């Protein structure tokens, strides 16, 4: 069984910063993709940023140059540093990983429970 535990969400004023963290725990052999998605009320869930095991990253155009995704492979943790936050960044942010479990030849996908980020104007 795998658990994803997110932390770091909250309320911040426009222009402020927040750092999200997501720890993956369980019988994990390796983690390939670690990513952050977000979903605002009435909108579809969208990719914010992802990072591969080798370190390559991808960002949504709306967050480029403001958000930075990083990972600590030794801790099975992914981070999202969010700077210059805007009211339109308000959403529930979800952690997402693809990983291989110990002893199994397949890759599995897991989602975190979500953490609320609210940016006031």
pLDDT in tens, 11-51: 999 999 999 999 999 999 999 999 999 999 999 999 999 99
d(CA 73, CA 82): 20
**Residue 105: pLDDT over 90:** no
pLDDT of 33: 98
- Measured CA angle at 58 (ends 20, 41), to 5 deg: 55
Q: What is the DSSP letter of 73?
A: G
pLDDT interval class at 94 (50, 70, 90):
very high
d(CA 79, CA 120): 22
Give all strands (DSSP E) within 8-90, no chain letters.
Answer: 10-13, 18-26, 28-39, 46-51, 57-59, 67-72, 77-82
pLDDT of 102: 85
pLDDT in tens, 66-87: 999 999 999 999 999 999 999 9
- Measured CA angle at 68 (ends 118, 25), to 5 deg: 80
**Residue 107: pLDDT over 90:** yes
pLDDT of 103: 77
SS (HEC) of 79-107: EEEECCCCHHHCEEEEEEEEEEECCCCCE
């Amino acid at each position: 069984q795998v658990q994803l535990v997110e932390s770091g969400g909250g309320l911040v004023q426009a222009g402020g910063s927040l750092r999200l963290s997501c720890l993956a725990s369980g019988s994990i052999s390796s983690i390939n993709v670690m990513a952050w998605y977000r979903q605002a009320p009435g909108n579809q869930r969208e990719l914010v940023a992802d990072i591969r095991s080798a370190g390559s990253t991808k960002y949504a155009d709306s967050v480029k140059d403001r958000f930075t995704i990083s990972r600590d492979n030794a801790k099975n943790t992914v981070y999202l540093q969010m700077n210059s936050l805007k009211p339109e960044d308000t959403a529930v942010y979800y952690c997402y990983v693809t990983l291989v479990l110990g002893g199994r030849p397949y890759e599995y996908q897991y989602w975190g429970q979500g953490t609320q980020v609210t940016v006031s104007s």
